[in-house]
Amino acid sequence: MAGYNQIVYLRPLITRANIEVGEYTYYDDPEHAKEFEHRNVLYHFDFAGDRLIIGKFCALATDVKFIMSSANHAMDGFSTYPFNIFGGGWEEGFDFDALKAGYRDTIVGNDVWIGRDAWIMPGVTIGNGAIIGTRALVTKDVAPYSIVGGNPARTIRQRFDDTTIEALEQIAWWDWPPEKIGRNIRAIRGGDIRLLAEAV
């Protein structure tokens, strides 16, 4: 981005097929902005089959981390030690497919703001318009237009009333063409749902 070397649009930088990022989503990092998929998406292996899907117009602050499903260890036996990855016969009897069956995609909606040092755990879905506080540990799904924070993260409040949230989800301004967004920036940035609805 012009004048902001530490901020990058993520979509053009993603090379892995198991990561999808929507247009205009950016990552802000003064030292490693272009290394997002390698430094910020952890335990993400192709063989596991889970995906990281991030929507459009998201703002990700420095050191946001996504922990993916392969970080999970089998917990149904007496030991959680991953004997199977070391071979030498230790992999016998390990049912990776059963473990993998519980893996879910990690999904971030559109227009989500994730604060610095937040950690998003495997299989979480974050709804459109949500705000994740600095250093939050997100272990469960986050409702659209909710503000969450803490460790583990809990809902602090909704950003808007239920009727407004429902309208915002239906309007889905992030799917508009760039020209239409440009013409309606005031309505999108403003707090008047009627004005935004008229732009539809």
Give residues with Cβ within 8 angstroms of 40, minimum separation 6.
Answer: 27, 60, 63, 64, 65, 66
Give the span between the Cα atoms of 166 and 149, in whole angstroms.
Answer: 23
Residue ranges per domain, the chain? Answer: 7-73+103-159, 160-200
User: Hey, how many other C-beta atoms are within 10 angstroms of the C-beta on 27?
Assistant: 26
- Per the prediction, the chain carries an average pLDDT of 92
**At which residue do the structure tokens 């205009």 appear?**
24
Q: What is the pLDDT of residue 5?
A: 75
Q: What is the pLDDT along the chain (200 residues), one digit of tens a residue?
A: 555 679 999 999 999 999 999 999 999 999 999 999 999 999 998 888 899 999 999 999 999 999 999 888 878 788 888 887 788 888 777 677 777 777 899 999 999 999 999 999 999 999 999 999 999 999 999 999 999 999 999 999 999 999 999 999 999 999 999 999 999 999 999 989 999 999 98
Matching residue, tokens 């990092």: 29
Q: Which residues are catalytic?
A: 73
What CATH code is assigned to 7-73+103-159? 2.160.10.10
Q: What is the pLDDT of residue 3?
A: 54
Q: What is the pTM of this model?
A: 0.92
